[in-house]
A and B are shown apart, each in its own frame.
Chain A
Amino acid sequence: MTTIRKGAPCAPAMAMLRNLRTGARGAPLCLAIAALLSAPTLLAAQLGSYNPRPGAQGTFAIRGGHIFSANGPDIANGTVIISGGKITAVGANVAVPNGATVIDASGLSVYPGMMETSTSLGLAEITEGANATVDNSEVGRLNSNMHAFWAFDPHSAEIGVTRFVGITHVVTAPTGGLISGQAALMNLAGDTPPQMAVVPSVAMVISLPGGGGGGRGGGAGGPAATGAAANAPLDSIKNILRDASAYGNSWTAYNKDKTLPRPHHDLALEALLPVINGTMPVMFPADNMAGIRGAVTFAEEMKIKPIIVGGRDAYRMADYLKQHNVPVILTGVLSLPGGADDPYDINYSAPGKLAAAGVKFAIASGSPNPDIRNLPFVAGMAGAFGLSKEDALKSVTLWPAQIFGVGDKLGSIEVGKIANIVVTDGDLLEARTNTKYLFIDGRAVPLDNKHTDLYKAFKDRP
């Protein structure tokens, strides 16, 4: 399924997708891309597909399980009805519709699918030694018009491996430069990117100079970013945002008065319109206090909506973040403490401190693409150091969805939401727990993946 972000302006990618959906004819470029989309075989993986195809969006009744909604009280023995890709009923006494496929979940637990928010899954397969599989960054520093969506490989073996633990959707983001491009919110089941996209352009990624690392791995940080970012003046980002604003104004003026000179299209500036309009949030990698404060100050000055990614020192400025209503993606919960004299559990305990202070946050795995299946255990471990179990679950389900503006679509087991649901034989965040059933976008998803395939092939070799 493909939905368009509500109120999204007419950025080219959006226009293309809209054209695809409605069958309308757009500009020649849009036509070309639409043609590409209608030929999904062109997007086939180079490394072979290990991910079995999901079934159809049928009607399912998951009956008798312990339902952890992540946004309300548990139901000890309840039923979830899925139909047409959505959750249509939840409760202790829910009638099973005629013709529904019934899943007996007695003795099992039913959870919303988890959401990883700091990855480039699908954009880069083998990062070392196979550069041809790496498409997560682009030449240049100001790449607002790059879309993760267009490089997402639906057949990446990492997708099947990731969803196996109950991660059902991810924000996959480009990296590099000052403005890296646009992240996509993707469901982890489907044959094509359009089928898998929940929001093709969910956030812009901007790395301010001096952010102090951030992103995956929760880098050790330091006084300033390195490489291109360290040498680039902050002004170049401000300037392009101001240019985008002027660009938008010139089009608005022209649309009102066609006697004015017609502005020329500029894809990079057009891509920034949703950012300066405040409809598209911006992910700012930032770990240290100066970097976080810098991002918040910058965002307020430019009137854009920030999401801090990394957030190593966020717990030290929780009141500030709360006061400025800025959410944080924590990528370094399992990272080593930065200072030699820091308490050993300084990063393990950061989520608990943020929760206590009322800061909105999500936990990310902080792992390279192949290993984001660590996400549940990272959140669970925060649960051993001050975060409640309920909040640990929310930090990988409901809260990331809310942070990315899709809290009405994803993140909990509630009527009307996209049916991304995982049925387990135990606590979702425990490493020992087994996934029993998986639904993504209301489709039953086989649990087989590259690893189970190789396991079956070799486990009995004499």
Chain B
Amino acid sequence: MNKPHRDTLYLENAEILSHEAFAGEQFILRIVAPECATKAQPGSFVHLQCDPLQPMRRPISIMRVSPEEGWVDLLYKRVGTGTTLLSRRQPGESISLLGPIGQPFRPDPSRTKPLLIGGGVGMPPMVFLAESLYQERKKQPFVILGSEVPFPFNPQPSQLLLPELPADVIATMPLMDDWGIPCRLASQQDFAGCFQGYVTELARHWLISLNKQARGEVEIFSCGPHPMLEAVAELAAEFDLPCQVSLEEFMACGVGGCAGCVVEVQTAEGPVMKRVCVDGPVFEASKVF
């Protein structure tokens, strides 16, 4: 029987290489998971055992992978019991990972200007997508990252100038400069070099600065808190742009078995409940908002 879905997820006992804490309860975890590192695509996530005392795993999106070195980087925020226990895990320990899970972002080959918008712990899939676009070198992406707590990296003034944006909006994630990808940061807080406001306001600035033809090349990818994604979906609708969003939901199995992590999706046959784990986490924004 033809069963192409079989053996597509891997359970790996992943050694923790580093576990770095940042302000605002943020952590970046680097673990050794060669199968996941090789097979993950931007938008994929992993289902992690935080601690043997927790009956449920936690879904955490992938920020970076190195297929050559076999590691996976995860960014998460300490918000409850599971992530608190996870934050105590030390380098050298092992952690059970199931992954890579989910339908990835699918950029439209005909659109050359991907606009990536990530907020808070929604930044990782945008970083992953940006790095993959950098490796392909076929498009001219623009990345906007937003956070209400200090960013989990050291923002630096970008060397990639964007005359269409206010000159004082200059801070970027250094990796993006390394990849030659223009990126700007946004926050309601008064962070140096950051746009003071919502990510969608900065995105609007940028979209308006484009001529009609260039704007027609744009496609939006986004991940972040629900109200932010709603605003991104509205922005995309306003400018008539395709938009893919990555969603989050409480999750039990992570393999499509329990239908616990659903979201209502509009289809030609009417609304249906789709599983965020294996049908998502990436959905067309216009179908879920």
Chain A partners chain B: no
Residues of A at under 8 Å CB distance from B? none
